[in-house]
Structure 1
Amino acid sequence: MSLRQQLRGTGVALVTPFNSDKTIDFSALGKLIDFVIDNGAQYVVSLGTTGETPVLSKEEQKEVFEYTLAHVGNRVPVVIGIGGNNTAAVIKDLEYFDVKKAAAILSASPYYNKPSQEGIYQHYKAIAEAAPVPLILYNVPGRTGSNISAATCLRLAADVPNIQGIKEASGNMVQCMHILANRPEDFLVTSGDDHVTLPLIACGMDGVISVAANCFPQDFCQLVNLALAGQFAAAQPLQFKLLEGYDLLFAENNPAGVKAFLFELGLIQNELRLPVVPLSQGVHDQVKTYLKQL
């Protein structure tokens, strides 16, 4: 089975729950994993940005990934997030984590040092050639400060067999359409933007790696499944039902928004590590009001 077939649908970028003393709450992580799988998630992503990976030590990252693998069992595939702006360090991380147990590696484009398109190409080529499982590019210019162009994505897809997909979170619909129109047949293209997942699936995307599916898994997974089945008229009411929820998730910071929702659902404590702080009281009150309406 190709990676495109294996990861079709909704993947959940899992949060990392914390206790009041900021240690990792593994019990809550287990409850969250069960919650999203039981409500329709096709796979989960461990150690994504939504999991506050930048503020986890390497030892903690390893513990979270290994716990996630063990708790998921064989229910759904697990994707691991491994990225950075030091190519050699990322390649070293491939040895530190037991990545062979993952379905794929999701790797965010280098941040802050803003490499050229050639630099981005060489960065991903080097990582993919060292990786024992397929690599998924992750384009998120709003966080990294640089864009993986459609041309660079397609060049990597054509030249490097182990690069088998992209999570596209540029928000640039035209760029996404150029990738979709020219990708190799088995190349996975998945949305990284909850807001526009529905129209992107209409353009040909294979699903989404979602923040919203942490807290609205049933509705959101149903929306994605309907869209993938071409039932856009049936999916549209769910999109509009969740629209305010998407807005609140990203009103101030991710994962502050999703953690507020999960706290109100009784799944985790509303704890984050600096420099990220919980939602302001006003926005948190809007979260509570919205959940009552649901």
Structure 2
Amino acid sequence: MNKLHGTGVALVTPFTPTGAVDANAWRRLLDFTITGGVDYLVINGTTGESPTVTPDEKADLLRVAREHVAGRVPLVYGIGGNDTAAVARQLRETDLAGIMAILSASPAYNKPSQAGLVAHYQHLADASPLPLLLYNVPGRTGSNLTADTTLTLARHPNIIGIKEASGNLEQCLAILAGKPADFLFLSGDDMLTLPLIACGGQGIISVMANALPRQFSEMTRAALAGDLARARQLLFSLLPLNPLLYEEGNPVGVKAALALQGVCEPAVRLPLVPASAGLTARIQALL
């Protein structure tokens, strides 16, 4: 799983101005991020607006990505939800040819106990034909995978790592201190990539790397190589843009940044709306 070290990018799903999936822009985005130096791609994550992308569209996006990427970088695919049995069924029935691992976000809205989260992920790991990455994002799901729960799940042979987006540094440190050596710790917060790598993390699954793949990948590589001075310099240069990417919701800001670079339209699907003119202007000024 060392192929999942470094910078993974949680890809947006490009839409046309009328709301259809834009296959041409999808191919441009794949090339833009790969040539920018990212280490792997994550398809159908939260940043890809997965709740409003239909099953048929998801299948088409995955098929096009497999064909267009053609093995240039590894692919990770997002499959999650709050109905454990339905997620397990989807894991068994999805064509996962060419995929290296599954990223599965914790159940949203149900707010399970820690015992429920353990049982949920163990059930998915037993059902999954591919290795599973946990995804802890309490700001979206309403529940938190504690460090103890993560370390319990790390003992399952088919659970290979976690994307940790709690923003809780003490919790992250507890996982890093107690995890097995071969358990991947990936930051889920772009601006915490450097400090978490400095404490033993292996990389990031990034939103910003959609729009700034070269700069972000260079920062991650420098951190992993121990060149903390260079990594800090790059991180601080990216810092002003980060809050703008989330000010009106994700992926609203990063799609505006991509549109300003000619990669895709700023279109998102309701209940999200495209970036306001004011936000777009501030993003443009920083780009």
Please, what TM-score do these two structures have when normalized by structure 1? Answer: 0.96
In the alignment, is the contact (CA less than 8 A) between 2:88 and 2:127 conserved in 1?
yes
In structure 2, what is the equivalent of residue 136 of structure 1? 133
- Quote the Cα distance in structure 2 between the aligned partners of 1:202 and 1:279: 34
In structure 1, what is the equivalent of residue 280 of structure 2? 284
SS at match of 2:222: helix
CA positional deviation for 1:76: 0.6
In the alignment, is the contact (CA less than 8 A) between 1:100 and 1:132 conserved in 2?
no
CA positional deviation for 1:100: 4.1
Match of 1:112 among 109, 113, 132: 109
- Is 1:171 matched with 2:161? no
CA positional deviation for 1:101: 2.5
CA positional deviation for 1:237: 1.2
How many percent of aligned residue pairs carry the same amino acid?
52
Deviating beyond 2 angstroms after TM superposition, the runs of 4 or more aligned structure 1 residues are: none
CA positional deviation for 1:196: 1.2
SS at match of 1:110: coil
In structure 1, what is the equivalent of residue 231 of structure 2? 235
CA positional deviation for 1:224: 0.2
CA positional deviation for 1:39: 1.1
CA positional deviation for 1:270: 1.3
| Residue-by-residue CA offset, 1:30-62 (whole Å, 9 max, x unaligned) | 111111111110000000010111001111111
In the alignment, is the contact (CA less than 8 A) between 1:125 and 1:156 conserved in 2?
yes
- Is 1:261 matched with 2:248? no
- Quote the Cα distance in structure 2 between the aligned partners of 1:106 and 1:70: 21
- Is 1:153 matched with 2:165? no
Match of 2:213 among 217, 231, 255: 217
- Is 1:191 matched with 2:174? no
Match of 2:59 among 57, 62, 78: 62
- Quote the Cα distance in structure 1 between the aligned partners of 2:97 and 2:172: 30
CA positional deviation for 1:95: 2.7
In the alignment, is the contact (CA less than 8 A) between 2:160 and 2:184 conserved in 1?
yes
Greater shift, 92-101 or 252-261, is seen at 92-101
In the alignment, is the contact (CA less than 8 A) between 2:207 and 2:254 conserved in 1?
yes
RMSD: 0.8
In the alignment, is the contact (CA less than 8 A) between 2:187 and 2:196 conserved in 1?
yes
CA positional deviation for 1:290: 1.0
SS at match of 1:148: coil
SS at match of 2:163: strand
Residues 63-142 of structure 1 mapped to structure 2, 5 A cutoff: 63-142=60-139
In the alignment, is the contact (CA less than 8 A) between 1:100 and 1:133 conserved in 2?
no
SS at match of 1:166: strand
CA positional deviation for 1:96: 3.0
Unaligned segments of structure 1, at least 5 residues: none
- Quote the Cα distance in structure 1 between the aligned partners of 2:111 and 2:79: 18
In the alignment, is the contact (CA less than 8 A) between 2:92 and 2:127 conserved in 1?
no
- Is 1:13 matched with 2:10? yes
